[in-house]
Structure 1
C-alpha cells in the first residue's frame, strides 16, 4: 500500500493506492485511518476495489460500522468506483444520502472525489 498526497492550497487528501484489498473488516479500516491520521491527514480517497464486497452488502452492517467510526474521528473519505452494478435500492439510497453530506462520498472518478474532498474545509 502506498499513500500519496493531493494538495490544493491548504487542503490535503491522502490518496491510497494498492492492488490488494486493504479493508476486509472494521479493524483494517481503523488501522488505515490511524495510519492516515498519524501522517497528519483527515481526508482520504480509496478505490472501491480496495474494500471487501461485504462493505457494499448493507445487511452485513460493515459499511455503517466503518463510516460511523470515520465520522466519529472526523475522517472524510471518498470511495471511487463504478457503483452502477449494484441492484440494491437500499445501497443506492445510502450512496445518494452520503453524497449529500460532507463526510463520505461515493464518486465515479478520482477527479470528482478529489473535488468533493477539497471543497470540505476542516
Structure 2
C-alpha cells in the first residue's frame, strides 16, 4: 500500500504506509508535508517509519520534524504503540503528554484512536 489520503472522521488525512521509506531527515518530513498539498490536513505516520533518533530527544530530530509540521500548519500524528519508549524516557513521556494536550502533534496507538481524536477536535 502506498501513502494515501483518506477521509477520517470528516478530515482528510495522509495515511502513511507502514512499509514505506523511513523518515530519517528533515527533507523526508518536508516530502510528507508536500504530499498534503493534494488535499490532506493531517499526516498519520506509523511510529515504525520514524528514525529511532526521533524518540531520543537529545538528538533534537523530533523537535526539528515537529517544527517543520508546525511551520506549514500541518498536523502530525504518530501512530503506534510507543509505550516501551515512553516508559524508558521521562523526557519522551513529557513530550507525548504535552503534545497530546497542545493539539498540533498527537501520539495515538492506532487509527481508531486518531478517528476519536479528530471527532473530538472538531
- TM tier, smaller: 0.7 to 0.9
| 1:27/1:99 CA distance change after superposition, 3 Å | same
State whether residues 48 and 80 of structure 1, in contact with CA within 8 Å, keep that contact through their aligned partners in structure 2.
yes
Q: In structure 2, how many angstroms separate the alpha carbons of the residues matched to 1:118 and 1:60?
A: 34
Structure 1 stretches of 4+ with a deviation exceeding 4 A read none
Pairing of 1:16-95 with structure 2 (within 5 A) = 16-37=16-37, 39-86=38-85, 87-95=88-96
SS at match of 2:16: strand
Alignment RMSD: 1.8
Q: CA separation in 2, counterparts of 1:9 and 1:109?
A: 14
| TM-score relative to the length of structure 1 | 0.87
Superimposed CA distance per residue, residues 64-119 of structure 1 (whole angstroms, 9 cap, x where no aligned partner): 01101101110011111111111000001000000002211001121102332454
> Is contact 2:5–2:39 with CA below 8 Å preserved after alignment?
no
Question: How many residues of Structure 1 are paired with residues of Structure 2 in the alignment?
Answer: 120
Q: What is the CA-CA distance between 1:21 and the residue it aligns to? A: 3.7
Q: TM-score, normalised by structure 2?
A: 0.87
In structure 1, what is the equivalent of residue 104 of structure 2?
103
Structure 2 gap ranges (5+):
none
Shift of 1:14: 1.3
Q: Which structure 2 residues correspond to residues 5-20 of structure 1 after superposition, within 5 A?
A: 5-8=5-8, 10-20=10-20
Q: Which one has a larger percent helix, Structure 1 or Structure 2? A: 2
User: Is the alpha carbon distance of 1:117 and 1:26 closer, same or farther for their aligned partners in structure 2, counting shifts above 3 Å?
Assistant: farther
